[in-house]
């Protein structure tokens, strides 16, 4: 059925519409048909949304500087199909563990475009990175610096960045603020000076530059100035990785900086504070993937307590963010006019009182069997999915041009015991 020009709010994937009957269309596919074919819960990923955002970031940097690299933060959506897509689009990749490094290599990233992060890298993970010949190892602390230098064979060199904690805390949730004065990530200024001197003296380490990451879900770009000014005091280098953390709108009331505004601010600060000729690396984070994905659920029960509870067949096993960060989402009942109703709690199926996906969400007359769609679940949904209460993790389904394909199958009960000995 041809879709109308009726669109939904800006939090839904690019190109999302409602058809003539008001049914949600994702990548040209009917959401109810997707739920029937692939079951629920399911992560529905609009492939064009991923590609469009990757291209916008690359174009925005290319229009403003000749020397840059855009990194996909693999932790946000560590699925092979997503990694492969971004490798095809020309992005680099940052990984924070041996497992993420394995995923990135398996997905086809050029090892030289892979960069290893982490505040507690094991000797095995460092060795894995050296064996793979990755681009940068982002060194987090003095212990790691010594360990890495010991592992590099005589006559070889490894390019590194030093992660700096600039003492800047942006306006975001405390649990995703990463650059303040008491963070677990990176060197404080005193230790940074020691690390710089040691690295520059080493015949095994090629200190290419400095890295900082002040937090995630950043909607106010102002703190990047203070962070870069602090890092600039440590010396002059070729490369500066300004982290990422560009926030996204999770509900229609929210807004976030445009990609071009974000890039203009960062490139402009680099030139103003550091001068011409510097190489900028950037980690957009969730801004590449969050809006690409909608999670579909089936309503299992409706319960009338002090507040009405609408319970679905997923919850904290497929989206842990509301329970960890009080993250706020919106939702719709697929195929039902979005007329105002009585606010309800959209609850999960798990044995925790905190397992509420959205508190006080306006859903019109939800009934058992309805399909509920929750947008902006591309970042950290699949990444944090778990098997609490023995719940198999959902499939990932790519949609585009009216076609749908599974790229990660749904787990089975047999998968839950597959590792048993």
How many helices (H) and strands (E) would you count in the chain? 12, 21
Task: Tell me how far apart the alpha carbons of residues 54 and 76 are, in angstroms, rounded to a whole number.
Answer: 14
Q: Which two tokens stand for residue 88?
A: 């095809």
Report yes or no: 97 and 118 within 8 Å, Cβ to Cβ. yes
How far is it, in rounded angstroms, from Cα 149 to Cα 144?
8
The C-alpha atoms of residue 235 and residue 362 are separated, in whole angstroms, by: 53
Choose, from 2, 124, 306, 351, the residue flagged as catalytic: 351
How far apart are alpha carbons 31 and 402 in whole angstroms?
A: 11
Query: 29 an active-site residue?
Result: no
Q: Is 337 exposed, middle or buried (0-12, 13-18, 19+ CB in 10 A)?
A: exposed
Q: How far apart are CA 267 and CA 275, in angstroms?
A: 10
Query: Taking Cα atoms as reference points, which of 202, 94, 226, 96 lies closest to residue 142?
Result: 202
Contacts of 195 (CB under 8 A, 6+ apart): 139, 142, 145, 162, 187
Two tokens at 226? 């203070």
Q: Catalytic residue positions?
A: 351
């Amino acid at each position: 059925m041809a879709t109308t020009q009726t669109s939904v709010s800006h939090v839904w994937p690019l190109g999302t519409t409602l058809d003539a009957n008001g049914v949600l269309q994702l990548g040209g596919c009917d959401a109810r048909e997707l739920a029937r074919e692939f079951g629920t819960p399911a992560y529905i990923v609009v492939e064009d949304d991923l590609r469009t955002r990757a291209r916008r970031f690359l174009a925005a940097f290319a229009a403003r500087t000749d020397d840059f690299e855009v990194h996909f933060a693999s932790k946000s959506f560590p699925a092979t199909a997503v990694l492969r897509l971004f490798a095809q689009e020309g992005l680099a990749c940052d990984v924070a563990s041996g497992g993420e490094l394995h995923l990135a290599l398996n997905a086809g990233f050029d090892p030289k475009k892979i960069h290893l992060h982490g505040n507690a890298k094991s000797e095995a993970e460092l060795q894995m990175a050296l064996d793979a010949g990755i681009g940068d190892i982002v060194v987090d602390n003095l212990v790691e610096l010594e360990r890495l230098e010991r592992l590099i064979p005589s006559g070889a060199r490894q390019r590194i960045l030093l992660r700096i904690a600039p003492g800047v805390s942006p306006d975001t949730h405390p649990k995703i603020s990463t650059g303040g004065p008491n963070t677990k990530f990176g060197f404080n200024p005193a230790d940074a000076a020691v690390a710089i001197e040691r690295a520059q003296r080493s015949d095994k380490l090629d200190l290419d530059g400095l890295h900082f990451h002040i937090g995630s879900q950043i909607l106010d770009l102002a703190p990047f100035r203070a962070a870069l000014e602090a890092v600039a005091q440590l010396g002059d280098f070729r490369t500066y990785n300004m982290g990422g953390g560009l926030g996204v709108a999770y509900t229609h009331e929210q807004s976030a900086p445009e990609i071009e505004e974000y890039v203009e601010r960062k490139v402009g600060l680099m030139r103003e504070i550091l001068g011409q000729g510097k190489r900028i690396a950037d980690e957009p984070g969730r801004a590449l993937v969050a809006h690409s994905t909608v999670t579909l659920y089936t309503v299992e029960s409706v319960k009338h307590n002090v507040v009405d509870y609408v319970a679905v067949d997923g919850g904290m096993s497929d989206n842990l963010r509301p329970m960890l960060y009080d993250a706020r989402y919106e939702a719709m009942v697929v195929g039902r006019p979005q007329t105002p109703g009585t606010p309800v709690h959209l609850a999960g199926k798990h044995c925790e009182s905190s397992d509420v996906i959205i508190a006080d969400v306006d859903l019109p007359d939800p009934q058992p069997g309805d399909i509920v769609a929750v947008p902006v679940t591309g970042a950290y949904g699949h990444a944090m999915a778990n098997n609490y209460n023995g719940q198999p993790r959902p499939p990932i389904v790519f949609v585009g041009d009216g076609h749908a394909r599974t790229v990660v199958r749904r787990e089975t009960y047999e998968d839950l015991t597959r590792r048993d000995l």
